[in-house]
Structure 1
Amino acid sequence: MCGIVGYVGPQDAPPLLIEGLARLEYRGYDSAGLAVLTDRDKLRVVKRAGRVRDLVEHLPPGFGGHTGIGHTRWATHGPATDVNAHPHTDATGRVAVVHNGILDNAYELRARLAADGVELVSDTDTEVIAHLVGRSQAATLQEKVAEALGQVHGTWGLAVLHADHPGEIVAARNGSPLILGVGNGEMYVASDLAAIVRHTTTVVLLDDGELASVTERGFSTTGGKAAAEIDVDPAAYETGEHESFMLKEILEQPETAARVLQGRLDDRFGTTHLGGLEMTPHESRAFRRVKVLGCGSAYYVGEMGAGLIEELARIPAHAEPASEFRYRNPIVERDTLYVAVSQSGETLDTLLAVEEIKRKGGRVIGLVNVVGSAIARACDGGIYLHAGPEVAVASTKAVTNMFLGFALLALHLGRVRDLSVADGKRLVAGLEALPDQIAEILERQDELAEVADELAKAESLFFIGRVRGYPVAREGAQKFKEISYRHAEAYPASELKHGPLALISPTMPTVVIVPDDDLASRNVGALEEIAARGGPLVVITQPGVDLGGVQVTRIDVPASEVELAPILLTIPLQLLAYRAALALGHDIDKPRNLAKSVTVE
């Protein structure tokens, strides 16, 4: 995986491909490359390890053509080298392929091709597709690609050029997102709308198992798809006046939080309007437990959500990594509501978990940000997060809206059970106050920057919290390690004395999450234990919490309804991670080794 862009039309393809690849850099990658068909139907390929700018510097004079494909690679097979970069070609040099995903039977296919005398030059799985397409005797390029894909197992989003079929790109999807962009006498292929949004917002979303043939005259798909207009502002994919996408998205949170709540709160009855769930009150009441599935930050906010559902609806709720779920042959129960959480809606581990639940007759809803994404389409209903495009690899505004989505769901489930109207109204008022409270926290960036500068000096950090504070600590550690590259570990505060306390020292800071709840005094006990061993302390808490005489760096967030405190306590952690990474000179939007949308297992 990571980024794919293709173009066919009257314009010179390389500049458009380079522009598209540059807009996909946020996804994380280690190399980049282009393949174009010249006006003489000759295939030319240039690829380089490193950044898109390194590729641009090595483009030869006269490198041009009206049909081309480009790729940024996130390694699944082989180190970052020029040879392993995409596109990959067949033995004749007349076929070029770019590919996101993983082929599960690549080793067997490589062995079979080698036995047939094919010389494989790269370490990648993708190269075998190019050889299989090149060896096909089918009449059309689409038939050649279909024949090749009939021999492979795994996941793919791919685009293929063939010198014998000029003016055409064949695209295919199976488990990795791919879209077609419809222009005026020109067509685009991309793995992400960001690559082409400046040129068109009329798109075709390919389904798994679907192939498409694209020429400047239009497109055809094996699923008979029609194009549709996507409602998106191209400016959402620009940093504007901000120094990074992550900072821009952090600062957008008051607006995006208000957007996900808009029209969904019912003050009269202290409940929520969630038509997207497609469940009657009777169906909502029938569930005996809730299982939340997500990966990374979506999993951690899923833990926050599970705790909220259990607290308000008083039914057992539990979060689990989607990446582990289907591998343990899970018991899927008819009276369990499964909730899949994903920013992109294309996270493969989560999508496969959804498919496993559906296969076994379970009811699954989605909390997804991207409308029309694979997970959104696979679920029985759900709540769109309406955070807008999130470009930075480290998720911020989508995490906030995920929590708010869970709050809406928990309030809905609680009110069809035993949550009183008074408590419902109290929580509705608390939710309505959150956007302004988030804005209040964001106004204190400079204060938080000073704390972050000190934390950045530490090689390792602890993040701890108790009950509703623990998943907040996990998300804080996640953000810190993602972009600052410091070792950050999260523990329940109660577990410190069962081992981790051995690591406390004057060089090991601990960030402690202390909501204003009935466990505050127990959290202060943990502060005392750390302070007694000389450990520096940063405490994220709320006004009115008495931290005793412990010497700490204190950061207060606004008072809130206690059930909603986790999201307010999370906001300073985003800024601390951001400012620490900035102090260390890291590339904020392109953290090493990571990708925005993980579409491989």
Structure 2
Amino acid sequence: MAVSRTALELAAQPDCWRRAAALAPEGLPLPGERVAVTGCGTSWFMAQAYAALREAAGEGDTDAFPASEFPARRRPYDRVVAITRSGTTTEILGLLAALGRTTPRLAVTASPGTPVTRAAETVAVLDWADEESVVQTRFATTALALLRAALPGGADAVAAAADAAETALAEPLPEEVLTAEQWTFLGRGWAYGLAQEAALKMREAAGAWTEAYPSMEYRHGPVAIAGPGRVTWSFGPVPDGLASAVAHAGGVLVRGDDPLAELVRAQRVAVAVAESRGYDPDHPRGLTRSVILTP
């Protein structure tokens, strides 16, 4: 069987992250600024991860919103960061236009010469991390690596994540994860956005039943999903008592220390499950590279 484009592209992530960490584009949020980060789909989940990382680093209040739900009535933010692979997404372009020139706007994109490069005040183009596959893998995580590297200690964290991801790419995937009927991803803080992205990848590529929750919320109802043939996958530390709850239900618990490396592992599972079901992971049903809405 030929290797899918998605599999090749997700395997390139460690090198992409290292390259992004060496960049210092203009327009990055400054310490103390009140910042909003926005995107759609995968980009929104990367926005959530970065917002949590920035606040945890003490760099300033940071909120993340899907572009379609940006709270326009709030007092203006000091800066807005928009993540968009295609540079053509309708909601992103509409939001940047609505913000006007009074709000500094940074766009992180894979596509030079697209409308977003004219709609934002400053632009970081990561065209070398773009994908041929409809499914996003390396661009999104590379955009996160770019933003994370600018935080205190961020460059070292990105380097460590790249090393961990190389291990995740080399190790065989557990059979009980590949053959499961259901997957639930968990994370705390910035890892929650990555858990949501892992679930999205499984739904997009494999049409799988997947869910994602903050780790501490799992036992507030969702634990009822756990059972034989079902996976609970923790991106980062497992809360006390959760392992025993999953074991009691007969479920499979997977855990990993580095959330980005675990996302890479989950991407590999999504491709493998898609192929086992006869799906094309590069071109999922009903999806296109960009959502462009027409009146």
Length-normalised TM-score, structure 1: 0.46
Identity between Structure 1 and Structure 2 (%): 27
Report the counterpart of residue 570 of structure 1 in structure 2: 263
- Report the CA distance shift for 1:505/1:442 in structure 2 as closer, same or farther (over 3 A): closer
SS of residue in 2 equivalent to 1:600: coil
1:344 aligns with 2:71: no
Report the counterpart of residue 376 of structure 1 in structure 2: 117
Asked whether the equivalents of residues 385 and 405 of structure 1 are also in contact (C-alpha less than 8 Å), the reply is: no
Report the counterpart of residue 587 of structure 1 in structure 2: 280
Distance 1:439 1:508 in 2: 26
Q: 2:219 is matched by which residue type in structure 1?
A: K
SS of residue in 2 equivalent to 1:442: helix
Which of 1 and 2 has greater Rg?
Answer: 1
Query: How many angstroms does 1:433 deviate by?
Result: 4.6
Query: How many angstroms does 1:434 deviate by?
Result: 4.3
SS of residue in 2 equivalent to 1:594: coil
1:245 aligns with 2:5: yes
> Which of 20, 25, 31 is the equivalent residue of 1:260?
20
Unaligned 5+ segments in structure 1 are: 1-240, 265-272, 412-423, 515-519, 543-564
Query: How many angstroms does 1:452 deviate by?
Result: 4.3
Query: How many angstroms does 1:592 deviate by?
Result: 0.6
1:292 aligns with 2:33: no
- Report the CA distance shift for 1:524/1:393 in structure 2 as closer, same or farther (over 3 A): farther
SS of residue in 2 equivalent to 1:537: strand
Distance 1:568 1:509 in 2: 18
Report the counterpart of residue 538 of structure 1 in structure 2: 254
Distance 1:526 1:462 in 2: 13
Report the counterpart of residue 175 of structure 1 in structure 2: none
Distance 1:451 1:508 in 2: 9
1:505 aligns with 2:227: yes
Structure 1, residues 197-239: CA drift from partner, whole Å, max 9, x if none? xxxxxxxxxxxxxxxxxxxxxxxxxxxxxxxxxxxxxxxxxxx
Distance 1:258 1:599 in 2: 32
Query: How many angstroms does 1:375 deviate by?
Result: 1.4
- Report the CA distance shift for 1:500/1:438 in structure 2 as closer, same or farther (over 3 A): closer
State how 1:75-90 maps to structure 2 within 5 Å: none
Q: 1:343 is matched by which residue type in structure 2?
A: R
SS of residue in 2 equivalent to 1:523: coil
1:597 aligns with 2:283: no
Query: How many angstroms does 1:437 deviate by?
Result: 3.8
Distance 1:353 1:529 in 2: 43
Structure 1 segments (4+ residues) deviating >4 Å: none
Asked whether the equivalents of residues 45 and 197 of structure 2 are also in contact (C-alpha less than 8 Å), the reply is: yes
Distance 2:229 2:169 in 1: 28
> Which of 241, 251, 258 is the equivalent residue of 1:525?
241
Distance 2:21 2:291 in 1: 28
Structure 1, residues 461-486: CA drift from partner, whole Å, max 9, x if none? 32122223211210110000101101
Higher relative contact order (CA 8 A, sep 6+): 2
- Report the CA distance shift for 1:373/1:242 in structure 2 as closer, same or farther (over 3 A): farther
- Report the CA distance shift for 1:476/1:571 in structure 2 as closer, same or farther (over 3 A): same
SS of residue in 1 equivalent to 2:8: helix
Asked whether the equivalents of residues 340 and 364 of structure 1 are also in contact (C-alpha less than 8 Å), the reply is: yes
SS of residue in 2 equivalent to 1:372: coil
Unaligned 5+ segments in structure 2 are: none
Asked whether the equivalents of residues 449 and 580 of structure 1 are also in contact (C-alpha less than 8 Å), the reply is: no
Q: 2:83 is matched by which residue type in structure 1?
A: V
Distance 2:46 2:226 in 1: 27
Structure 1, residues 104-136: CA drift from partner, whole Å, max 9, x if none? xxxxxxxxxxxxxxxxxxxxxxxxxxxxxxxxx
Distance 1:507 1:440 in 2: 26
Asked whether the equivalents of residues 81 and 108 of structure 2 are also in contact (C-alpha less than 8 Å), the reply is: yes
Task: Return the structure number with greater helix share.
Answer: 2
Report the counterpart of residue 175 of structure 2 in structure 1: 450
Distance 1:290 1:476 in 2: 25
Report the counterpart of residue 194 of structure 2 in structure 1: 472
1:364 aligns with 2:110: no
> Which of 127, 144, 168 is the equivalent residue of 1:441?
168
